[in-house]
Amino acid sequence: MTSVSETTERTRPPFWRDLAVLRVAAQVAAVVLAALVLVYLGNNLVTNTRAQGITLGFDFLDQPLGVDIQLSPITASNTILQGLIRGWINTLALVIVGLPLLTVLGVVVGVARLSSNWLVAKLAALYVEIVRNIPPLLIILFVHNVVILGLPPKNEPASPLGWFSISNFVIAGPWFDASDGAGAFWTAVAVAAVAAVFVWRRRTKVNEATGEPHHRVAYSLGLVVLVGVIAFFVLGRPLSWSLPVFKDRLVTGGIQGLGQYFSMLLALVVYTASHVAEIVRGSIQAVAKGQSEAANALALSGFQRLRFVTLPQAARIAVPPIISQYLNYTKNTSLAIGVAYAEVTLIAFQAIGNGQPAPQLILLLMVGYLIFSLTISFVLNIVNRRMQLVSR
Amino acid sequence: MFKRHGRAVALLAALTLILAACTSSDDGGSSETTAGETETTAAASSGGSVLAAVQDRGKLNCGVNNGVPGFGFVDESGEHVGFDIDYCKAVAAAVLGDADAVEYVDLDAQQRFTALQSGEIDVLIRNTTWTATRDGSEGATFLHTTFYDGQGMMVKADAGIASLDDMANTSVCVQSGTTTELNLASRFDEGGIPYTPLTFAENPQIQEAFIAGQCEGWTSDKSQLAGLRSNWPEDQGGPEALVILDETFSKEPLGPVVRDGDSQWAQIIDWITLATITAEELGIDSSNVGSFGDTESTEIRRLLGLEITGDDGATSVFDPGLGLEPGWVVDVISAVGNYGEIFDRNLGSDTPLGLTRGVNALWTDGGLLYAPPYR
């Protein structure tokens, strides 16, 4: 044992030629250099802002906002911090609704590009090639100026079926009107939804173990609907239908969104979906050809081939690049400043224009978007990990 | 073993090179800022460094607007024209002796202070309202007001709106990053008038939204609204399709802005404005500025930098010590004229804006324009 270590000692080169030492040294040097650059830049910022008489620090967040925020309870007397939080909520409203929509549109178009129907395939290709190659800001301005501003003016809204109120200012649709017991109702539905997940898993296991049809959609959906209907009547009809009504320049009732919101949503969904479509197409083509040939040999229909053979395998390849498209979508919401949708970037820039310090506000924005993006990629990476092939 | 070793060394070398490249390019970038910085900070102690920088460069970098007819606008031939633009020319005439030695930097409302702080522009003349917060925390110094404005509201003539109190449940378009949106919020919140603000970054986008009926009110400085109304497209009914409501709900003193820290440069800009006012008061304009060679008035001789003969027969030329060549006022007045001429050319009754002098008249005519004595 000792002799072995002695030989190692003897054969070890001097430290400046020792690979183990050098490797660590290279890492340390890189970290030190990076830290120096950061310190230098930070110092630069502090000296320059001090020289210009601009204060550093975040006390300004308690100052009054000074402006009202559209369709929200935030007014000029709320603080800048509250305004920024409202901005994040508005950003979130774009993200939560947009991601599912763009995924569905992207998958449909991506599959359509590979369709054997000539017209469908060419139309999908045309859409992808046009939209994918235009900067998102131009698409947003186009959608806003041509589609949304082309709707009826604010004071002459169209109301198809009497269920909607559509103008270029507000688009509103039917929604629920909550009365006493609505909270209990939603709790019951939520509990049923959780239970439905377990039912789904149980049915899947039964199916795998015995081969009997799982009917998991019918079972779980049925559970939720059943509980919902019972709760609705037991609690004395806590929800009623609320339709939007236009009167005295104002739309009341229903669920409403500003024209600006729909400009952003439509433009960004259409833009990002074109990228997702390409990812989906590429992923499907990356599935080994033998797989679909085998599916054909088993006499699966076109839909069955997609649903059970190609798409599940393509999804494994597609998820990581789609995550990065989700992040792009989230970051592109900051372009709303072009069409007056009050998301967080617009509110921060308003504050900067009104004399609040730019470095801090921009830092807050950057940190906020970082947290947003990291959360999305954290959640989706879990999904990704669960979808990957498990080698046993 | 040797091979891998060599690779590690190569990697280290490459890493160092990359980092070195990064740092040195950072150095390059920030040494510019630092240079600009020393410029501003040194100005406080030694004086005149913005002036020196402008004279070295031979061009004035003037931050302006390009979308407000009458104040700062790019005309059909691509030239900047307007009231604010004339003051950029006046500064260039006074400092460089050439009214055309101006580099116009088009800025939107949100960029303007950052451009000023970073040294990208020497002076900001872009219908900017003087407020305490801007003076105090933007690193900016506001100078003598060139135009006393106030905020108003423009609506379509057929909208059935006669006053701000008729505007419940309306949507109002406003430019973001302006005092206008602050005043809008104060006026409507205090009046208890529910409304929805739509804050756009640029006037052309507001115009699109206003035409489409997305917003019913357009609020801005009254002078701006007058300019926009005068340019209203004929297919939308021309200027008659719009009315500007009577109520003025804010004070908007507009004037030039410079960086904090160079009081000499600030004094120069101040006195250029004041000289145009004094010239109007003394009846000096661009057509007669050369004809005062033998005037008896020492006040005029001092302003125009003409020789003054003392009681003992010795002659001297008055120099207030602003750091400008004597006779700079002659350059300014021959280039852009006195205050009245600048006003009439860009905003007056012969222009599409058709504004009256109102509070922007000389103090001798009951207005607010009052220049300290030039002596």
Cα–Cα distance, B129 to B361 (Å, whole number): 19
Lowest mean pLDDT among A43-52, A158-167, A227-236, A270-279: A43-52
| CA distances (Å), origin B135, targets A355, B62, B113, B140 | 9, 19, 11, 6
Among B251, B270, B302, identify where a domain stops: B251
Of A392 and A42, the structure prediction assigns the larger pLDDT to A42
Please tell me the predicted confidence (pLDDT) of residue B33.
Answer: 39
Q: Tell me whether residue B302 is in a domain.
A: no
**Is residue A39 domain-shared with residue A151, that is, in the same domain?**
no
The confidence score (pLDDT) of residue A220 equals 85
A27 and A163 within one domain: no
Residue B27: predicted pLDDT: 38
Output the pLDDT for position A382: 87
**Could you say which of B199, B230, B251 is where a domain stops?**
B251
Cβ contacts of B256 within 8 Å, gap of 6 or more: B87, B91, B123, B124, B125, B142, B143, B144, B146, B269, B273
Q: Does A23 touch chain B (CB under 8 A)?
A: yes
Q: Residue A253 belongs to a domain with what CATH number? A: 1.10.3720.10
What does the pLDDT read at residue B43? Answer: 38
Residue B67: pLDDT above 80?
Answer: yes
Q: Which of A41, A66, A353 sits opposite B110 (nearest CB)?
A: A353
Per-residue b or e along B32-58, where b marks 16 or more CB atoms closer than 10 Å to that residue's CB: eebebbebbbebeeebbbbbbbbeeee
pLDDT at site A53: 67
| B141 and B164 both lie in a single domain | no
Q: What are the Cα distances from residue B244, in Å, to A66, B217, B223?
A: 24, 10, 10
Tell me whether residues B168 and A55 touch, CB distance under 8 A. no
Looking at residue B15, its pLDDT comes to 45
A133 or A358: which leads in pLDDT: A133
Confidence band of B12 (pLDDT split at 50, 70, 90) = very low
Quote the tokens at residue A187. 């709790």
What is the spatial order of strands in the sheet that B60-64 belongs to? B102-106, B60-64, B123-124, B257-259, B140-142
Question: Is the pLDDT at B39 greater than 60, yes or no?
Answer: no
Range A236-258 average pLDDT:
83
Same domain, B106 and B243: no
- Is pLDDT of A8 > 70? no
Whether B95 and B155 map to the same domain: the answer is no
Q: Is A1 helix (H, G, I), strand (E, B) or coil?
A: coil
Q: Indicate whether B196 and B76 sit together in one domain.
A: no
| Shortest Cα–Cα distance, A161 to chain B (Å) | 23
Residues 6+ apart with CB under 8 A from A30: B15, B19
* Chain A 330-369, residues with CB within 8 Å of chain B CB atoms: 337-340, 342, 346, 349-350, 352-358
H helical segments located in A114-215: 118-132, 136-142, 182-210
pLDDT top residue among B367 and B179: B367
Residue B185 pLDDT > 80: yes
- A66 contact partners, CB below 8 Å, separation of at least 6: A76, A354, B181, B182, B185
Domain identity same for B141 and B263:
yes
Per-residue pLDDT, B276:
96
Whether residue B69 sits in one domain with residue B121: yes
Q: How far is A92 from chain B (nearest CA, A)?
A: 19
Q: Does A154 touch chain B (CB under 8 A)?
A: yes
Inspect the interface and report whether the beta carbons of B26 and A169 lie closer than 8 Å: no
Q: Is A85 part of a structural domain of the chain?
A: yes
How much is the average pLDDT of B362-371? Answer: 93
Among A24-28, B276-280, B350-354, which is the least confidently predicted range?
B350-354
- Is residue B26 one of the residues assigned to a domain? no
State residue A7's pLDDT score.
53
Identify whether A69 is part of a domain. Answer: no
Residues of B in contact with A258 (CB under 8 A): 196
Separation CA B252–CA A10 (nearest Å) = 84
Pairwise CB contact (< 8 Å): B182 & A67: yes
Q: Does the pLDDT value for residue B54 go beyond 60?
A: yes
DSSP A295-355: HHHTT--HHHIIIIIIHHHHHHHHHHHHHHHHHHHHHHGGGGGGTT---HHHHHHHHHHTT
Q: Residue B193's domain spans which residues?
A: 150-251
pLDDT of residue B137: 77
Give per-residue pLDDT as tens, B220-271. 988 888 888 888 888 888 888 999 998 888 888 999 999 998 999 999 999 9
Look at A22 and B195 and tell me if their CB atoms are within 8 Å.
Answer: no
Cα–Cα distance for residue pair A64/A75, rounded to 1 Å: 9
N- to C-terminal Cα distance for chain B? 86
* Closest residue on chain B to A65 (Cα): B182
Question: Are residues A67 and B185, on separate chains, in Cβ contact within 8 Å?
Answer: yes
A136 part of a folded domain: yes
> Of residues B40 and B152, which shows the higher confidence score?
B152
CB contact under 8 A, B212 and A150: yes
- Closest by alpha carbon to A132, among A115, A112, A110, A150? A110
The single-letter code of the amino acid at B339 is Y
- Domain of B247: which CATH number? 3.40.190.10
In a mutational test of the A interface, the residue from B182, B195, B260 whose CB has the highest number of chain A CBs within 10 Å is B182
Question: Using CB atoms, which residue from A153, A248, A349 is nearest to B177?
Answer: A349
Tokens at B201, concatenated? 């970054």
DSSP string, B42-64: HHHHH--HHHHHHHHHTSEEEEE
C-alpha to C-alpha distance for A63 and A73, rounded to whole angstroms: 17
The two tokens of residue B295 are 């005037």
Cβ of residue A150 closer than 8 Å to a chain B Cβ: yes
**Which chain B residues are closer than 8 Å to A150 by Cβ?**
212
Please report whether residue A230 resides in a domain: no
Is residue B82 over pLDDT 90?
Answer: yes
Per-residue pLDDT for A310 more than 70? yes
Residue B34 has pLDDT above 60, yes or no: no
Considering only CB atoms, B169 lies closest to which of A22, A145, A248, namely: A248
Whether residue B106 is found in the same domain as residue B218: no
At residue B44, the pLDDT reads 38
A309 within a domain of the structure (yes/no): yes
Predicted local confidence at residue B22, as pLDDT: 42
Are B170 and B218 part of one and the same domain? Answer: yes
Distance from CA of A201 to the nearest CA of B (A): 48
Per-residue pLDDT at A325: 93
Query: Is A16 among the domain residues?
Result: yes
Residue B237 lies in a domain: yes
Per-residue model confidence as pLDDT tens digits over A265-277: 999 999 999 999 9
pLDDT value of residue A280: 94
Residues of B within 8 A of A337 (CB-CB) are: 176, 201
Query: Within this chain, do residues A340 and A255 fall inside the same structural domain, yes or no?
Result: yes
pLDDT above 90 (res A108): yes
Identify the domain containing residue A39 by its residue range: 2-49
Is residue B292 in some structural domain?
no
B218, amino acid identity: W
Write out pLDDT tens, residues B326-337.
889 999 999 999
Is the residue at B372 inside a domain?
yes
Is residue B297 domain-resident? Answer: no
How many structural domains does chain A have?
2
Give the one of A54, A260, A350 whose C-beta lies nearest to B181's C-beta. A350
Among candidates A153, A342, A350 on the partner chain, residue whose Cβ is nearest the Cβ of B213: A153
For residues B273 and B243, state if they share a domain. Answer: no
Whether residues A43 and A123 share a domain: the answer is no
B133 close to A (CB below 8 A) = yes
Residue A141 in any domain: the answer is: yes
Grade residue A64 by pLDDT with cuts at 50, 70 and 90: confident
Same domain as A307, residue A159: yes
> Of the residues B251, B277, B303, which one is the last residue of a structural domain?
B251
Task: Evaluate whether residue B218 is within a structural domain.
Answer: yes
Higher pLDDT, A48 or A316: A316
Does A66 fall in a domain? Answer: no
Beta strands B195-200; B170-175: pairing state: parallel
Same domain, B125 and B262: yes
- Residue A332 pLDDT more than 80? yes
Reply yes or no on whether the pLDDT at A350 is more than 90.
no
pLDDT per residue as tens digits for the range B110-158: 788 889 988 999 999 998 989 888 888 778 999 999 999 999 999 999 8
A144 pLDDT band, cuts 50/70/90, is very high
Cβ A149–B214 below 8 Å, yes or no? Answer: yes
**Cross-chain Cβ contact B139/A149 below 8 Å:** no
* Mean pLDDT over the full length of chain B: 85
**What per-residue confidence (pLDDT) applies to A10?**
63
Q: Say yes or no: B190 contacts chain A, CB-CB below 8 A.
A: no
Residue B341's pLDDT band (boundaries 50, 70, 90)?
A: very high
Domain count along chain B: 2
- Do A128 and A28 belong to one domain? no
User: Which positions 35-94 of B are in contact with A (Cβ < 8 Å)?
Assistant: 37, 40-41
Mean pLDDT taken over chain A: 87
**A225-236 average pLDDT score:** 85
CA–CA dist A80, A84 (Å, integer)? 6
- Indicate the pLDDT class of residue B90, thresholds 50, 70 and 90: very high
Q: How far is B47 from chain A (nearest CA, A)?
A: 16
pLDDT at B205 > cutoff 60: yes
Same domain (yes/no): B203, B277: no
Are B92 and B161 part of one and the same domain? Answer: no
B209 CB contacts (<8 Å, ≥6 apart)? A149, A340, B173, B198, B200, B215
